[in-house]
Amino acid sequence: MDYTMVFARIEKKYVLDEEAYHLLMNEIKDHIRLDQYGKYTICNLYFDNDHDELARCNFQKPIYKEKLRLRSYGVPQKDSLVFLEMKKKYGGIVYKRRIGMNLADIGPFVQGKRMPKDQIEKELQYFIQFYHPYPKIYLAYERCAYCGIDEPELRMTFDENIRSRKDQLFLEMGDQGQLLFNEKTYLLEIKTRDAYPTWLIQALNKLFIYPASFSKYNNVYKSLFLKEDYACV
């Protein structure tokens, strides 16, 4: 998977029904290729505190927002490599800081029983000491990732079967959960450090596909915990 520890990039999201997905793929198929991993399952644990401070802040559409999650690629075992990620967004730019370690070592790190080894670990431990978060939501989905043939920095991911649960909050306990959408739906994320290539702009415009303000986490949070307090972001 993508083992990058630090990056900053622009990310835009698009919600596609099955017809729009197939039409778009037909338009751009000659410009993209699957990355080396093909299709895979992403499993996440999202952290928050007793007051759901991180989730509720995100619903306010702030200029700056942040979240903490634990991610694995596939259902892990205790000795599997997983990633603890601090994701921040400011001014439309997404910043991510993350560390990789065995699943069995995550507990001691989050509990402050392991000394940080580098700057990223120090930042993560400061975040944890400030918010006192713990796992609140499990969220998984299948992802198919592409990159541009002539634009290797361009990354397009299609997520489907987005599902979640608010119990059994352990990555190793399987990837089952409640589906977010009733119908076949794809969440497209376009990630780049530069402007979109012309062929991609033309395809999106031709099919009237526009960016959507959509967060898997926020929508799952609402479906699991909220009634009418907040609108999805």
pLDDT number for residue 94: 86
pLDDT number for residue 228: 44
pLDDT number for residue 230: 39
Contact of 98 with 85, CB cutoff 8 Å: yes
pLDDT number for residue 140: 98
Mean pLDDT of 89-104: 89
Closest CA to 20 of 198, 197, 204: 204
Instruction: Give yes or no for residue 3 having a pLDDT over 60.
Output: no
Q: Residue 6, Cβ neighbours under 10 Å: how many?
A: 11
Q: Considering the chain, what percentage of its residues have pLDDT values greater than 70?
A: 94
pLDDT number for residue 198: 97
Beta bridge partners of 87: 67, 96
For the stretch 38-79, pLDDT in tens is 899 999 999 999 999 998 888 777 788 899 999 999 999 999
